[in-house]
Amino acid sequence: MSKKGQSTFVYVIYIRTTPKKLWSALTDVEFMKQYWFGMHCESEWTAGSSWKMVSGDGQIYDAGEIVEVEPPRRLVIRWQQQIKPELKAEGESLCTMELEPIGATVKLSITHTMEREPSKFIEAVSVGWPKILSNLKSLLETGSIALEDPYPTGNPYGKR
């Protein structure tokens, strides 16, 4: 539920894996490229360290910092979109990833918020997160991704 003046996207997925393997998948550059359509995150993965989302050709799509890190349970990143001026103008978003072991699965909850309502950025991530996380789940459970092209009819961030 969003507070007044805030846009929020929440996505929950259950993945048959261990918290340690899921944490590694969320923070390992080479593994990430497989399910994030060639994109990857660069960071030291410590509180206060810089964070950036980088395309296969080296363009920085998003940039920010790690706010909180508690492996393999919780990761909080504050970031701002860097490519589209109208999304960058909205300011910083906050993305919280929480991992909770449940039997042979891990419940991964993503809560992405922006302190403005409405938010075009939150609209954009609400299209991207389900595709990225579907690929992550498929890759961890079967060894292959579910989707080859994240935006067959156009990328909301522009051409890559």
pTM of the entire predicted model: 0.89
For residue range 89-123, what is the model confidence (pLDDT) as tens digits?
999 999 999 999 999 999 999 999 999 999 999 99
Evaluate whether residue 21 is within a structural domain: yes
Domain that holds residue 67: 8-142
Q: What's the pLDDT score for residue 1?
A: 47
- Using the predicted structure, report yes or no on whether residue 88 has a pLDDT greater than 50: yes
Q: Are 157 and 124 in contact (CB under 8 A)?
A: yes
How many domains is the chain built from? 1
How far is the CA of 50 from the CAs of 18, 42, 58, 67, 72, in angstroms?
27, 8, 16, 9, 19
In a domain, 32, yes or no: yes
Residue 13 resides in a domain: yes
The average confidence (pLDDT) of the chain is 92
159 in a structural domain? no
Quickly state the pLDDT bin for 2 (edges 50, 70, 90): low
* Residue 50: CATH number of its domain: 3.30.530.20
Share of the chain above pLDDT 70, in %: 91
- Look up residue 16 and give its amino acid: R
Summarised one tens digit per residue, pLDDT across range 143-159 is: 999 988 765 555 545 44
Query: DSSP characters for 2-14?
Result: PPTT-EEEEEEEE
142: pLDDT strictly greater than 70: yes
